[in-house]
Amino acid sequence: MTDTLLEDCLRLVPQDEVMRHIERICRYDRYQGSTGLEQAAELVAESAVTAGLTGVAIDRYPADGKAQWWTWRAPVSWTPVAAVLEVYEGAVRVVRIDHAEQPFSIGTYSAPTPPGGCDARLVRVGDTAVRGALVVVERADFGNARLLRELQTAGAVGFVTDAPWKGTPEEPHAGRIELPPDSPLSAFSVPPPQLARIAAAAVRRGHARLTIEIDRSAEMPVVSGVLPGTDPEAEEIWLTAHLCHPRPGANDNASGVAATLGVAATLSAARKARASFGTRASIRFFWAPEFLGQAAVLHQCLGESVPRQRLPRAVINLDMVGEDQAQCGSPFVVERPPDLIPSLLAPLAEHYVDQAFRNTATHSGAWQPSPFLGFSDHALFANPGIARPGVQFCHPADRFNHSAGDAPDKVSRIEMLRSTAAAAALAQTLARSGPDTADLGTIVGRWCDRERTRARKVAAGRSAEWGRRYLTRVDSTCAAMTLLASGRPAHQPQPSPGQEGPPVKAHWAGPLNVRAMMTDLSPRTRDALSDLVTLDKHCLAMLFHFAIRADGHRTRAEIIDDTSFALEREIGSAVSRQLFDALLESGWLREGSD
């Protein structure tokens, strides 16, 4: 039955329309509180109606930077109306950068210049005369977590750098810079060849002219719509795709938005063709700024005296789902839910993705599973107070991500078909309360076989003791999945007993917000943590796992141990100590009984 469902979805996906969605969305600069995001939201709402959704609405929230949803702050309204950098040697202009022509060139939340622009000397990092100057920052200096604070204290107008550039040496693209929303600095991002010309001008005592005009009128939109089920009391299935990103943002995340619209159109068409395609549970769709949009939605479920929404049964998040694997260098990844509450969501999701690749095997490409990392909207549902399983489809290793190179030419039509069809089949299955027991048993049995084979490869590259205990953990997970597939209850894997220490308990409100946690640290600790994350982004995943496992029963050692198995990597004692100490310093985790 599941194979036939996937084949139906592959046939019904409106591929031309899905690709047109990407082209249209890429025209807009979609900063989280911007006129471009508002325009994209209007476009998505119109497309959602056309795709067959009902109850399509755009909820709008003030983009005022204030804490509105627990620790989550609304974005600051910021739309660059004009953003131009001109570099001169004497009276000769040697470089002109215009954000209207060169995407990603203006750093998000850059401060506006006085009307008409301003002039600034060009200096290099280390120059003592920084006040009133535009500082040329090399890539090696940009990783310093204290750089922005030092430039601000020294009175710099701003900086220009190639540090976040992406792509290849033959095809370099400006990468993303994001300043604090209240920063007095202005920033420009350029590819290495342009920075080389600017740096040369600085050596020859050149100067710069900056013109930055910012509009502050936009609000934060959240678009939603629903495919209604037959039982209004049944827990819904949610599909999410973040709408925000500087243009073009084709794969990140116009692809996810287009795929979810494709899911809506596919399932609507199927319902019209066959009445049997109806579902008991409703399937609800959300398009919003990343993290903040879902924080606003969840606040309607949990943070208001009269809830306007109920929590879903499961969540499917589509973020960066269309990458041309040959160009972008990333396989298709199914990121699993945390293992804190056993769920069949991962085996089902991986089954449909595998089937999608098998049915399109004449085209190249590969897929693989990943432990929960929590770098997108699905992370909010992992919070212990919410605890709804969420799976993500993504291509996290895209070499053009967060750069001007993330254009429609990097999107694969066949990858969009795979992701859209697999998500549609998964949503349909979940909304029907799953496949029959025999089918589910076969799916889970195959999943367990693959998982044990994969686990042996993981263990082979680790220490013998860690590998032995990890394989025992995988066996426990497979046993829990087998119980669930047979309709019996299962419990989460338990940490290894006998590790002494006081229990650790969580102390925060609402979905976990790691960025907000970091603001509660001392500047010294925050800088050290930022440096650590710069070296290895997976440290953010470790922080997240440590926090959500602090249930008031586990000790520090048990939490770290448990996290290492969940992330399938041994965690060095120095790193775990620094991360855990930061959580304790922030007050978001506390040791001992209350």
State the CATH number of the domain containing residue 180: 3.50.30.30
Are 510 and 546 within one domain? yes
Residue 413 pairs in a beta bridge with none
- Which residues form the domain of 26? 2-75+218-434
Domain edge (last residue) among 215, 238, 267: 215
Helix count and strand count (H, E) for the chain: 18, 22
Instruction: Give the whole-angstrom CA distance, residue 211 versus residue 252.
Output: 28
What stretch of H or E contains 334?
A: strand 332-335
**Is 246 in the same domain as 349?**
yes
Tokens of 165: 């550039």
Q: Does 197 lie in the same domain as 102?
A: yes
Any domain includes 586? yes
Spatial contact of 190 and 161, defined as CB atoms under 8 Å apart: yes
Tokens found for residue 353 = 């993705």
CA angle, corner 411, sides to 375 and 176, nearest 5?
50
20, 253 Cβ separation under 8 angstroms: no
Q: Are 371 and 279 found together in one domain?
A: yes
Q: Of 166, 183, 215, which residue sits at a domain end?
A: 215
| Residue 355: partners with Cβ closer than 8 Å, 6 or more residues away | 2, 3, 6, 422, 425
Two tokens, residue 312: 């879903």
Do 75 and 32 contact (CB within 8 A), yes or no?
Answer: yes
pLDDT on residue 143: 80
The phi, psi pair for 47, rounded to 5°, reads: -65, -35
Could you tell me if residue 175 is inside a domain? yes
For residue 81, give every residue at least 6 positions away whose Cβ sits within 8 Å of its Cβ, in sequence order, or none: 213, 214, 215
Residues 111 and 158 in one domain: yes
- How far is Cα 44 from Cα 285, in angstroms, rounded to an integer? 11
Reduced to 3 states, what is the DSSP secondary structure of residue 150?
helix
Q: Is residue 143 part of a domain?
A: yes
Give me the pLDDT at residue 587, please.
98
Round to whole Å and give the CA distance between 330 and 243.
21
**Same domain for 177 and 93:** yes
In a domain? residue 496: no
Find, among 394, 356, 398, the residue nearest to 377 by Cα. 394
- Do 242 and 269 share a domain, yes or no? yes
Residue 495, in any domain of the structure: no
Cβ–Cβ < 8 Å for 196, 261: no
Alpha carbons 330 and 335: distance in angstroms, whole number: 14
Helix (H, G, I), strand (E, B) or coil at 479: helix
The neighbouring-strand residues paired with 96 are 86
Q: CB atoms < 10 A from the CB of 91, how many?
A: 5
Model pLDDT for residues 385-403, shown as the tens digit of each residue: 999 999 999 999 999 999 9
Q: Tell me whether residue 96 is exposed, middle or buried, using C-beta atoms within 10 angstroms of its C-beta: 0 to 12, 13 to 18, 19 or more.
A: middle
End position of a domain, from candidates 215, 245, 260: 215
In sequence order, the β-bridge partners of residue 288 are 242
Rounded distance between C-alpha atoms, residue 379 and residue 376, angstroms: 6
The Cβ-side half-sphere exposure at 363, using a 13 Å CA radius, reads 16
Q: Is residue 48 in some structural domain?
A: yes
List the pLDDT tens digit at each of the 594 positions of the chain: 678 999 999 999 999 999 999 999 999 999 999 999 999 999 999 999 999 999 999 999 999 999 999 999 999 999 999 999 999 999 999 999 999 999 999 999 999 999 999 999 999 998 889 999 999 999 989 987 789 999 999 999 999 999 999 999 999 999 999 999 999 999 999 999 999 999 999 999 999 999 999 999 999 999 999 999 999 999 999 999 999 999 999 999 999 999 999 999 999 999 999 988 999 999 999 999 999 999 999 999 998 777 878 999 999 999 999 999 999 999 999 999 999 989 999 999 999 999 999 999 999 999 999 999 999 999 999 999 999 999 999 999 999 999 999 999 999 999 999 999 999 999 999 999 888 888 999 999 999 999 999 999 999 999 999 999 999 999 999 999 999 999 998 876 666 655 689 999 999 999 999 999 999 999 999 999 999 999 999 999 999 999 999 999 999 999 999 999 999 999 999 999 999 999 999 999 999 876
The CATH code of the domain that includes 367 is 3.40.630.10
179 and 224 part of one domain: no
User: Domain check: are 380 and 272 in the same one?
Assistant: yes
Provide the residue count of the chain: 594
SS3 333: strand
User: Total structural domains in the chain?
Assistant: 4
Euclidean distance between the first and the last CA atom of the chain, given in angstroms as a whole number:
52
DSSP label at residue 470: H
Co-location of 85 and 71 in the same domain: no
Say yes or no: 239 and 373 in one domain.
yes
Q: Which amino acid is present at 180?
A: P
Dist CA 461 CA 463 (whole Å): 7
* 222 in the same domain as 206: no
Give the count of beta carbons closer than 10 Å to the beta carbon of residue 461: 10
- 491 within some domain: no
Q: What's the token pair of residue 434? A: 């799953």
pLDDT for the residue numbered 382: 97
The pLDDT of residue 305: 73
**The one-letter amino acid at 14:** P
Asked if omega into 513 is within 30° of 0 (cis), the reply is no
What letter does residue 252 receive in the DSSP assignment?
Answer: I
The CA-based diameter of the chain, rounded to the nearest angstrom, is 78
Whether residue 545 lies inside any domain: the answer is: yes
